[in-house]
Amino acid sequence: MSSDKLAQRVAQIAPFQVMAVLARAKELQALGKDVIHLEIGEPDFTAPEPVAEAGMQAIVAGHTGYTAAQGLPALRAKISDYYQKRYRVNVAPERIFITPGASGALLLLSSLMVDAGHEVLMPDPSYPCNRHFLAQVGAKARLLQGSQNAPFVLDLETLVKHWGPQTQGVWLASPANPTGSVLPRDYIEQAWGVVESLGGHLLVDEIYQGLVYEGEDFTALGISDEIFVVNSFSKFFAMTGWRLGWLVLPEWAIEGTTKLAQNLFISAPTVAQYAALRALDDDVLEICEQRRQSLARRREVLVNGLKGLGLPIASPAQGAFYVYVDISAYTDDAMQWCLQLLEEEFVALTPGADFGHHDAHKYVRFAYTCDEARLDQALVRIARFIGKTE
């Protein structure tokens, strides 16, 4: 059997260009080269030790069977308490669904809210998997440019202009991947007002919530109970491989979401759920805050270093652990530039084409996921590289 037997939707799923960068980086490492990884969105932190211990204790105690599709009641209640303590927002535990990573939550939402043949509006650039989740349900994403003053923020007038009979919602992210930008509260309030008036749904992806260095760290759940919010234990809590996220939804969507969750994944990983209970304790949250401060220092090193090299930062890098950089002074092909940088100076970056369409060839994403010393080394190597390409 050949690949032409595959379902047609597979052809709509684009591979990550960064995977070619990562594959070559690993080959170079195998040859003994010292590669600095600034391409993958995974810091060099592992889950806090108390979280790992809680996971091991869950295995020893035999907590390895299925949970309810919605997740452990105790974990949903603890997330509810977290919203109250940290953000002063009341979120009923019944509205919280535990999912296999934020990816599971986004796939669940795609199935819940978007019909085949319809579309969702998103800013250009956006997290690439969002487009592919929609393709899985026979829908599509339409990426829209921002305004001249905020080129990577979905302009609300543009949103209204492009809203059509097949549009069912808008998906935003704050802090955002790849730009690291943080949307202000009043922007999300206005966006919700527009989307609600047009009869659509609004998703705010908050998986980098907590990793904010400039601007307000808040949740869209404080604006309306009708907004959908996705979050994750992967980023602020450093539990990437545990594959655990959550979806907060309006009360009217609970029954439908339960049916879908039961059929799509039965339940999220049980051991990870027990570990996550520990992640929300005050002492572990303090560890996570110390790591946020470490990321803030790394951000300062990278941002200052890029400015010193004359590499324009394309969008305010206020959160997450990304900086989106304009390299059009040196190339009109960011992917080729990334591969050349890797070959000559052993620094791995992500090309902009993974995230959007408009002028994506001009941009690369830096992830400040290694320590300050390595970032300094990377900046020295990049300075040498761009000196050759001027």
Which of 262, 281, 300 is a domain's end point?
Answer: 281
Residues 18 and 55 in one domain: no
Distance CA 89, CA 217 (A): 13
Domains of the chain: total: 2
Helix, strand, coil percentages, rounded to 5, for the chain: 45, 15, 40
Residue 123's CATH number:
3.40.640.10
Q: Which residues contact 88 (CB under 8 A, 6 or more apart)?
A: 222
Residues 289 and 197 in one domain: no
Which of 281, 305, 324 is a domain's end point?
Answer: 281
Residue 379 lies in a domain: yes
Residues 100 and 205 in one domain: yes
Residues 211 and 310 in one domain: no
Residues 150 and 298 in one domain: no
State the helix-helix crossing angle for 101-113 and 254-264, rounded to 10 degrees.
Answer: 120
- pLDDT confidence tier of residue 13, bands split at 50, 70 and 90: confident
Residue 390 lies in a domain: no
Residues 150 and 56 in one domain: yes
Residue 362's CATH number:
3.90.1150.10
Residues 252 and 166 in one domain: yes
Residue 389 lies in a domain: no
User: Tens of pLDDT along 123-177?
Assistant: 999 999 999 999 999 999 999 988 777 889 999 999 999 999 999 999 999 999 9
Residues 169 and 228 in one domain: yes
Residue 158 lies in a domain: yes
Cα dihedral: 177, 111, 134, 13 (round 10): 100
User: Tens of pLDDT along 285-341?
Assistant: 999 999 999 999 999 999 999 999 999 999 989 999 999 999 999 999 999 999 999
Q: Which residues contact 221 (CB under 8 A, 6 or more apart)?
A: 83, 87, 89, 91, 227, 229, 248
Residues 36 and 95 in one domain: no
Residue 198 lies in a domain: yes
Residues 236 and 104 in one domain: yes
Residue 342 lies in a domain: yes
Residue 192 lies in a domain: yes
Residues 79 and 178 in one domain: yes
* b/e sequence 230-252, b meaning 16+ C-beta within 10 Å: bbbbbbbbbbbebbbbbbbbeee
Find the length of the chain: 390
Distance CA 272, CA 285 (A): 17
> What pTM did the predictor assign?
0.95
The CA-CA-CA angle for residues 117, 118, 122, to 5°, reads 135
78-103: average pLDDT: 98
Distance CA 255, CA 42 (A): 34
Residues 304 and 369 in one domain: yes
Q: Which domain holds residue 107?
A: 49-281
User: Tens of pLDDT along 244-283?
Assistant: 999 999 999 999 999 999 999 999 999 999 999 999 999 9
For residue 363, list its beta bridge partners.
326
- pLDDT confidence tier of residue 15, bands split at 50, 70 and 90: confident
Which of 251, 281, 311 is a domain's end point?
Answer: 281
